[in-house]
Amino acid sequence: MNEIIVSGQMPVLALRGLVVYPEQTFHFDVAREKSVKALEKAMEQDQILMLVPQKDVMDFDPSVDQLYNIGTVVKVKQMLRSSGDVIRVLVTGMYRAQITEVNQTDPYMIARVEMIEDKPYTLTTKMRATIREANMAFKAYMDLQQHNAQALLLKMMASTDPGFIADSIAQYAGFDFLDKIKLLQQLNPGMRLDAALKMLDREIEMVTIELEMQNKAKANMDQNQREYYLREQMKAIRTELGEEGDEDEFASYKDKIRKLSLCEDSEKKLLKDVDRLEKQPFGSSEGAVLRNYLDTVLELPWNVKTKERIDIQAAQKILDKDHFGMTKVKERVLESLAVRQLAPEMPPQVICLVGPPGVGKTSIAYSIARSLNRKMARISLGGVRDEADIRGHRKTYVGSMPGRIMSALTQAGSSNPLLLLDEVDKMGSDYRGDPSAALLEVLDGEQNATYRDHYIEIPYDLSDVMFICTANTLDTVPRPLLDRMEIIELGSYTDEEKKMIAKDHLIPKQLKKHGLKKSQLKINEDALEDIIRSYTRESGVRSLERLIAKICRKADLMLVKEDAPKKITVTTKNLEELLGVRRYLPEQQETEDAVGLVTGLAWTSVGGEVLEVEVNVMEGSGKLELTGNLGDVMKESAHAALSYIRSHVKELGIAPDFYKTKDIHVHFPEGAVPKDGPSAGVTVCTAIVSALTGRTVRRDVAMTGEISIRGRVLPIGGLKEKTMAALRHGVRTVVIPEANARDLEEIDQTVRSKLHFVTANMVDTVLKTALNPIETQMPVLQQIPMDSVACDQKAQIQQ
């Protein structure tokens, strides 16, 4: 603990944004009436007063609570009255101190203060090195600032007191106010010096950057003046020589505009801009704006079109070669080709491909463009928040440019390209406008024939452009925008499809990228299946492709070594040597039926997942506790399930007053993961009934479905992905809403053969399927025989 020495009673002056340190001489201005009176009182006595920084620099009359706990006792060396009521004061710090008792606050503050000494320290070799480094850094800082502080530097170099060195640096360096306060409050000299040195290094870096920026600005200014002088000389020389270069430029502009065969209004507007440019003085800023505008307009592919391929067989061959599966997308493209053959004037439709990441939405768009012989340009809309990104800026603004649609057309070099609007669901909106609203005109076939970009200002025909949008979800896409697009959903790939994609596309692609031949690297089919099951957990194939690339890199390294093998074969045995420990072990299912533990199914952006629901029933007062990071919709589903149970206690064999005498705790494991949605309603209901009745739940049964308070089982989404998760988990029977029976047709036939489906219209069916009867009491619900269950079909999940 620091030794505290009583110093006595003295006037106190609050400092705004300033800090004075012991043994440092510093001058500042005093203007507040209370501060002036405290200063005058000190001059009447022994010229001693205490300076304490105040916390809020905007507070004109701070109280003791608004002052920092440590200040500095100083001796006033000089006081000079300047213009007005401002007094310039020169003081020298004596020692750190703290206020122990306030004796007076008006008309100025008088307090009893106590001296605070620094902690004792030992001058080690390391501390000596730190002192030397601090002195050198401070000298470099003062040189950068071009301050003459030779006397202070000599005094610092002659001192071996780390506290004095740190206080000197803090007093004269341009640290932030709060940093200076930290150094004032630090009573360990060694730690104070270390902190001051770090702050000084940061300050030197900032000052260096500021000087570089100032030098660059000065150099640019000199360069601009030099260029202006040279341009004026060139202008005078051209005038003397009678050169007509500018007139040739204007004539060239007019000739190019007339060759575009634009509508009368557009051509008239552009020619008027050329006339305005002709009248601008040489080097004027408006002339530069007009030149950029005319160049941008003339770069657009006004009359350039590629001849579209309408050969259906050739197009199908290209699509099948580039992508495995994706039947719906390919069928839709071939339908468009058939329509173009019979009705060439029919404008192309806007297609939106919706699916989880990595399933090939973007790559199929490139294949479609190649199959149709259209130029291709991609517009990434992820994170776009400004309407001007779509429609462009007014050309009067500095740095204005056309919107992304016009820029993509220039990039494609054709007026009938395929434009890919990627990640259309990731757009935002703020005070600068809503980019999704700007897309309404672009994607509307009735309006986009006269699309006007804010920069281009004249109408451009987008009716021949084929737009394909991609999105991971439709939840964030505005309804008016969805109304203009034809939605095609791409589901997750099954493990079998991933294997085929890897064999036919990913492995040949990565072998070529890494300079390998098929004879040099072979990945066995079992190893490929193991990679898919044990190293990836995704809807698409991006992670799978990265793992194949990693194997290729390992193979390259092995083949360039001295004892390189002629051929590398990847098997399940050497897979861990190449890819490391398996990330995902096979999901283990509970072997025994349990009370209050039910397997539910959930959909995520990367596919389906198994969602366990646990319920405990305890003696209590009827509380319902819901845990597991649940959203509002899921909580409401739990309350709906409880309402159904309370209204059917007799049929379910539950005590009628359970809601008064029992506390129910519903928990969803993996509490760090947010969960929401209504599809866990039947799962929660089954778990609560099991816990209240003591009946065990079959572990080979999983379920999904929304529940109503009357016990109806309502339809859900993502059935394809959910059933795949059930199959991975070892489930054999899946209970689904009856309204989702039609969705079973979307599931791959090879997958359906491995699962047994039970369709339920009411919760009774779910309970009969999932709960085991209790032999010791009269069962209220009898388990239905498996051969009488509706919809006796089975499924596996396609990712």
**Residue 127: DSSP 8-state:** H
**Residue 336: DSSP 8-state:** H
- Exactly one of 330, 722, 768, 794 is catalytic; which is it? 722
Phi/psi of residue 28, each to 5°?
Answer: -155, 165
List helix spans (H) across 343-421. 361-372, 388-391, 404-412
> Would you put residue 707 in left (φ > 0), alpha (ψ -120 to 50) or beta?
beta
Residue bearing tokens 């599931």? 747
H or E segment and range at residue 268: helix 264-279
Residues 6+ apart with CB under 8 A from 453: 391, 392, 402, 403, 405, 406, 460
**Residue 587: DSSP 8-state:** P
DSSP string, 422-442: ETGGG---BTTB-HHHHHHHH
Residues 6+ apart with CB under 8 A from 386: 430, 432, 433, 435
**Residue 704: DSSP 8-state:** -
On whether the CB atoms of residues 294 and 453 are closer than 8 A, the answer is: no
Active-site residue 517, yes or no?
A: no
Q: Which token pair is 313?
A: 């067989």
For residue 436, which of 384, 512, 485 has the smallest C-alpha distance?
384
Name the packing angle between helices 177-185 and 162-172 (round to 10°).
160
Between CA 599 and CA 597 the distance in angstroms is 7
CA angle (665, 670, 671) in 5-degree steps:
60
- Exactly one of 35, 266, 679, 690 is catalytic; which is it? 679
Between CA 25 and CA 735 the distance in angstroms is 83
Decide: residue 265, CB within 10 A, 0-12 exposed, 13-18 middle, 19+ buried: exposed
Distances (CA, A) of 604 to 408, 720, 799: 33, 12, 11
Distances (CA, A) of 766 to 296, 640, 685, 698: 65, 16, 9, 11
Cα dihedral angle (221, 226, 231, 233), rounded to 10 degrees?
150
Active-site residue 168, yes or no?
A: no
> Annotated active-site positions, please?
679, 722
